[in-house]
Amino acid sequence: MILLPLPKKQVEREGNLFLSMDSMILLSPSCPKGAFVYARMLKSEITKWAGLDLTVGKGTEREGDILLWVDASLEENAYRLVIEETGARLCGGSLNSLGWAVQTLRQIVRQCAGALPCLEIEDAPEILNRGFYHDVTRGRVQTLEHLKELADTLAFYKMNQLQLYVEHTYLFRGMTELWRDETPLEAEEILELDDYCFERGIELVPSLSTFGHLYKLLGSRSYEEFCELPGSAGKPFSFKDRMDHHTVNVSNGAAMELIKGMIEEYMHLFRSEKFNLCADETFDLGKGRSKALAEEKGVGTLYVDYIMELFRFLIRHGKTPMFWGDVICRHPELFSRLPEGVVCLNWGYSPTQPDTETRILHEVGATQYVCPGACGWNTWINVFSNSYRNVRLMSDYARKYGAVGVLNTDWGDFGHINHPIFSVPGLIYGAVFSWGGEVPDYEELNRRIAMLEFGDSSGRLLNLLGKVSDEMRFSWHHAVIVKEWVQQGVARETIGKFFHDEDMGKAAASNQVLDAVEKELSLVIRSMDSSGRWIMAHAQVGIRMVRLWNQVGLYLEDLDQDGRAKEGWDGFALAAGLEANLHDYQQLWRSNSKEGDLARITDVFCWYADLLRKTSK
């Protein structure tokens, strides 16, 4: 039997509890009101996997029943699950930990239907804050329905925090230029999602970019004066520029009032006492309009002065400030100026990530979360192996240096091209490693996730999908930058050097591997529950994207000195292949998300398709 995260103590016994239509899911009379939601979640799981529509009630248990209650004698974050032949009992030291007991029983039901094995589990997390950070700005704004599904997945794996990264994809009142060509989240959607998460033991924490990474805000005619670098408005859209620039001009006091107004409007939609104001990657600080001030005070001081004002503002409103730690790690001598209790979010995404930043923050006395990654940015299918190694390392550092949370990140970068289903394995890595206990190796954990989450009885699904991004030779990152540089008139030698950083010599062999993976997946899908087989469409489109872009890279590398295709290449056929797969991709995107950056992603495909036809003989 597979349980994720792995329980700290599990004792299996002989026998089974056989559920029947006479069984009930009972709430103890002392249960808080919120326990009803957990009872309904368990009822739905039993109906789906055991075929039994049990009644939820409240009162005294009888033989064959499932009893839920909160036991004040347990530690707040501990739960106990006991299954005997005569019934099942789930208790937690709090409503939230009772919910974790319910998730464990749901996982058992998913595998054992109505014949539940007799066992006893006692469990509690090692790290109290276990969250997922999802980018809803850089390309993909999932619909409310699918954001709720994300919350359901978090609850199932006992995670208790969700943050949505927002720059301009919330409909701020009166700021029409900010979101006029976007499909932003609206206040009613946030309020509904906040309630939905709360009922499932998940804290929905507001996260708003307030310093760097304000591309749409500071690139608008209305607010360009607040941008550190002059001339930010009126430029053509650029994925790369959106990542690299647009920092607030701290020498303009009116900018602070604008940002405070945005924070105040947004914060009231959430019941959370936390607020993540981001403040990361302020690349341009002190290089433009605030240069003189930076020369007088120093860039580090400019940074701290600005965030301190925002911290004070949040604290006056009863909020605990959170912020990304990359800048303060470069100025640890200034950390003592920050108010006690602010939470520093320490990110690092390498599979060989050192503990340098975690150690620095520990030494200056910071309250910190470690923030690894699901490793999906700029990939069609996430790099599972990198995510596993990164999450494992960062979770180890969290324990070593006393971090109070693990926040696993899912960034979008150049359009959030990967479908959210491919971030689920990384999400579960975060749940497993942050909960604690002994964790299987990469392939074994993938096997268990494939079976529990995706209903793959063969256990091979994720280890196959994990091979796909290893074969990516002409990456989306390179494809976007080459296009933008050509349009901006960047020197051909610079573009050529950048392009040749890609290992195109292996592209043909990689495509053969992809062909084999696609065929193997078609066989694996037969081992899956029919309700989960829809993943095959996403996998097939993702594999074909990698293969097609590899072919585009080979084609471009093989152009002659006049920029024409050599014999043997059919640019028209390759362009048609890109466009056909793009059409399928667009359909899948719209099944999950609002339009977001889909038109901008489409523009990249069309530019390359036109180039292929133009250069074909």
Query: Residue 14: CA atoms inside 13 Å, Cβ hemisphere, count?
Result: 0
Give me the pLDDT at residue 563, please.
83
* Phi, psi (rounded to 5 degrees) for 456: -95, 100
- Sheet containing strand 66-70, edge to edge, reads 9-18, 115-123, 79-84, 87-92, 66-70, 24-27, 55-58
What percentage of the chain carries pLDDT values higher than 90? 94
Q: What is the pTM of this model?
A: 0.96
Give me the pLDDT at residue 492, please.
86
Contact 172, 268 (CB under 8 A): no
Domains and CATH numbers, the chain: 9-123 (3.30.379.10), 129-439 (3.20.20.80), 469-615 (no CATH)
Q: Is the pLDDT of residue 11 over 90?
A: yes
User: For residue 131, what are its two tokens?
Assistant: 């969250």
Give me the pLDDT at residue 556, please.
93
User: For residue 350, what are its two tokens?
Assistant: 């390498």
Helix axes 507-524, 535-557, angle to 10 degrees: 170
CA nearest neighbour of 466 among 449, 482, 478, 483: 449
Chain centre to alpha carbon of residue 246: 23
Residue range 128-141, pLDDT digits in tens: 999 999 999 999 99
Looking at every residue in the chain, the average pLDDT score rounds to: 96
Residue range 411-444, pLDDT digits in tens: 999 999 999 999 999 999 999 999 998 899 999 9
Q: What residues contact residue 512 under an 8 Å CB cut-off, 6+ apart?
A: none
> What sign does the CA torsion over 158, 163, 165, 166 have?
positive
Residue range 17-56, pLDDT digits in tens: 999 999 999 999 989 989 999 999 999 999 999 999 999 9
Question: What's the CA gap between 106 and 43, in Å, rounded?
Answer: 9
Looking at residue 4, its amino acid is: L
Question: What's the CA gap between 612 and 617, in Å, rounded?
Answer: 10
Q: Is the pLDDT of residue 223 over 90?
A: yes
Q: Is the pLDDT of residue 399 over 80?
A: yes
Question: What's the CA gap between 553 and 549, in Å, rounded?
Answer: 6
Give me the pLDDT at residue 43, please.
98
Residue range 224-262, pLDDT digits in tens: 999 999 999 999 999 999 999 999 999 999 999 999 999
What is the pLDDT averaged over residues 148-154?
98
Q: Is the pLDDT of residue 219 over 90?
A: yes
Residue range 96-110, pLDDT digits in tens: 999 999 999 999 999
- Neighbouring CB atoms inside 10 A of 128's CB total 14
